[in-house]
Amino acid sequence: MNILIIYDSFFGNTQKIAEAILSGFSPNNKIVLKNVTEVEQNLPEKIDVLIVGSPTRGFRPSPNTLKFIKSIGSKSFEGVKVAAFDTRINLETLKKAAFRYMVDKGGYAAKTILKQLLKKGGEQVAGPEGFLVDGEEGPITEGETSRAVVWAQTIESEIIRITT
Ligand SMILES: Cc1cc2nc3c(=O)[nH]c(=O)nc-3n(C[C@H](O)[C@H](O)[C@H](O)COP(=O)(O)O)c2cc1C
């Protein structure tokens, strides 16, 4: 399968999660990992799977991620299997209860990204997934990188299940 993983990252955490996701797919796939700022207007011709990840910033995807999604034509992802992930604050690392409550209630980037990918014709192969970072800038919470590897493996199994 041709797999494209697109990510944005301010402090490097989402990039590391994207790399872990890449490593979770079997090596017989052709996988390209791109920073969202490097993605041209037209995606490569033949993509079977598109995974988009962003840090959650103010309860939403990053501005560059939103800009990318907006720039894509309405039926561009028809026939493409899609999934979305984000990184987000590990609430256990926030001291103030009021802040914890607000962050939790505000929502996260992956849900918004996935909704947009589906709107452009993509076929969902996983629920929106969040990976935790400690505090506002990371590092990645222990165990989350391994969970990202497993998430990719689950996506690959699901694709094999629905296509065979
Ligand atoms: C300005 C700013 C806003 C943020 N907003 C949220 C938020 O609404 N919800 C959340 O869970 N984390 C929030 N975070 C934490 C980010 O999600 C965290 O910095 C990000 O996951 C790190 O990924 P990166 O290293 O790839 O940028 C925010 C961080 C910053 C600096």
Residue pLDDT tens, the chain, 164 long: 999 999 999 999 999 999 999 999 999 999 999 999 998 766 767 899 999 999 999 999 999 999 999 998 888 899 999 999 999 999 999 999 999 999 999 999 999 999 999 999 999 999 999 999 999 999 999 999 999 999 999 999 999 999 98
Query: In whole angstroms, what is the distance from residue 65 CA to residue 38 CA?
Result: 11
Q: What single-letter DSSP state applies at residue 72?
A: S
Query: Domain range for residue 102?
Result: 2-163
- On whether the CB atoms of residues 88 and 141 are closer than 8 A, the answer is no
Q: Whose CA is nearest to atom 1 of ligand 1?
A: 57
**Ligand 1 centroid distance, CA of 134 (Å):** 10
pLDDT of residue 19: 98
Which of 88, 131, 132, 140 to mutate to test ligand 1, by most ligand atoms within 8 A of the CB atom?
88
CATH code, domain carrying 111: 3.40.50.360
Q: Report the domain count for the chain.
A: 1
Query: In whole angstroms, what is the distance from residue 23 CA to residue 67 CA?
Result: 27
Instruction: For residue 11, give the ligand 1 atom closest to its CA.
Output: 25
Residue 104: which residues within 8 A CB-CB, separation 6 or more? 91
